[in-house]
């Protein structure tokens, strides 16, 4: 069959229905086809692509690794096709799947609490949220919007600033009562300094003493994968942690955590941005709506 004569968008729609409805019969009903026609269509796709998309058995199927990639990208293609068609009409609304990646502290303190309001405003958008403090490759992970804290590396990504926060060293009263409160950076060396086990541009805690910058290494007995995990370890009295102020604002107000060495804090500011891939004059409405919503609702500076 000539490539130009293949209705690839129609095939994608059938494959997506098979995966999301859990079988050929359900997909056949949704697509007004017979189960055998659906099965033959999938077989034609596999033959044309030269890979197996589904491993079939009598009662069930399973996506192959190649099938998973094809399905995920197919969902995005269909969503973008829907978006393009709506952009050509007068009454356009955000619609389709939106994949969002954010660091864990921002996710817990800002993003997740805002999701119900965003979906109320845009009920035709489907969100796929991943929270991790690892910096991901947006293109490789097929992510629409990523929220990143700290300096941005030079790239082709476009960034919209969401705010900025300072960092602060904190400890639980139970820890400080047991081990004492350090009064100088040198005394801090005797304390358990909790750290992260993911790559960061700054491999220590910056402090200032006598107008000189100091970087203290992180040599605690526990590391964690994200800032919220470090916060919980600090609350449990395991050690000291250096965290974004917005993370611990309520803990400080309630006395669950206490500030440490504020006189030596350089008050370094960490900016937070929403980044996305530039697409010229065309940006999917679902992406634009989400970016505008974040910029309007999120004010990290108040935290």
Dump pLDDT digits (tens) for 112-154: 999 999 999 999 999 999 999 888 888 778 889 999 888 777 6
Dump pLDDT digits (tens) for 125-136: 999 999 998 888
pLDDT at residue 2, rounded to an integer: 44
Place of tokens 């009598």: 58
Confirm if 286 and 96 have CB atoms less than 8 A apart: yes
165-148-228 Cα angle (round to 5): 65
Among 118-132, 133-147, 166-180, 247-261, where is mean pLDDT lowest? 133-147
CA–CA distances in Å: residue 245 to residues 33, 134, 213, 300: 57, 20, 21, 9
Confirm if 219 and 191 have CB atoms less than 8 A apart: no
Q: Which two tokens stand for residue 174?
A: 């139970």
Nearest to 235 by CA among 204, 194, 196, 199: 194
* Cβ neighbours of residue 230 closer than 8 Å, sequence gap 6 or more: 194, 195, 196, 224, 241, 243
Mean residue pLDDT across the chain = 87
Q: How far apart are CA 291 and CA 298, in angstroms?
A: 10
pLDDT at position 189 over 50: yes
pLDDT at position 232 over 60: yes
Dump pLDDT digits (tens) for 6-54: 688 888 899 988 888 888 888 888 888 898 999 899 999 999 889 999 8
* Cβ neighbours of residue 254 closer than 8 Å, sequence gap 6 or more: none
Dump pLDDT digits (tens) for 204-215: 899 999 888 888
User: Taking residues 74-98, what's their average pLDDT?
Assistant: 75
89 band by pLDDT with thresholds 50, 70 and 90 = low
Strand, coil or helix: 171? strand
1 band by pLDDT with thresholds 50, 70 and 90 = very low
Strand, coil or helix: 63? strand
pLDDT at residue 183, rounded to an integer: 94
pLDDT at residue 9, rounded to an integer: 84
pLDDT at residue 150, rounded to an integer: 81
Q: Note the pTM of the prediction, 2 decimals.
A: 0.67
């Amino acid at each position: 069959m000539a490539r130009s004569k293949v209705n690839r968008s129609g095939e994608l729609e059938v494959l997506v229905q098979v995966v999301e409805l859990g079988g050929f019969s359900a997909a056949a009903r949704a697509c007004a086809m017979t189960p055998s026609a659906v099965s033959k269509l999938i077989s034609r796709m596999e033959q044309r692509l030269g890979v197996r998309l589904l491993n079939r058995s009598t009662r069930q199927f399973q996506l192959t690794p190649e099938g998973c990639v094809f399905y995920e990208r197919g969902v995005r293609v269909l969503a973008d096709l829907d978006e393009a068609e709506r952009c050509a009409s007068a009454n356009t609304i955000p619609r389709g799947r939106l994949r969002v990646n954010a660091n864990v502290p921002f996710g817990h303190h800002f993003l997740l609490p805002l999701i119900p309001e965003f979906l109320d405003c845009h009920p035709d958008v489907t969100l796929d949220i991943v929270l991790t403090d690892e910096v991901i490759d947006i293109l490789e992970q097929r992510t629409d919007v990523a929220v990143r804290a700290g300096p941005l590396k030079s790239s082709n990504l476009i960034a919209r600033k969401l705010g900025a926060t300072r960092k602060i060293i904190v400890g639980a009263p139970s820890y400080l009562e047991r081990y004492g409160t350090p009064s100088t950076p040198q005394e801090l060396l005797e304390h358990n300094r909790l750290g992260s086990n993911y790559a960061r541009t700054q491999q220590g805690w910056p402090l200032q003493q006598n107008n000189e910058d100091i970087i203290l290494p992180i040599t605690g007995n526990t590391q964690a994968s994200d800032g919220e995990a470090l916060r919980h370890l600090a609350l449990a009295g395991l050690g000291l942690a250096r965290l974004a102020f917005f993370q611990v604002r309520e803990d400080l107000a309630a006395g669950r955590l206490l500030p440490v060495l504020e006189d030596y804090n350089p008050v370094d500011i960490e900016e937070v941005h929403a980044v996305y891939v530039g697409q010229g004059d065309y940006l999917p409405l679902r992406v634009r709506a989400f970016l505008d919503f974040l910029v309007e609702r999120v004010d990290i500076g108040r935290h």
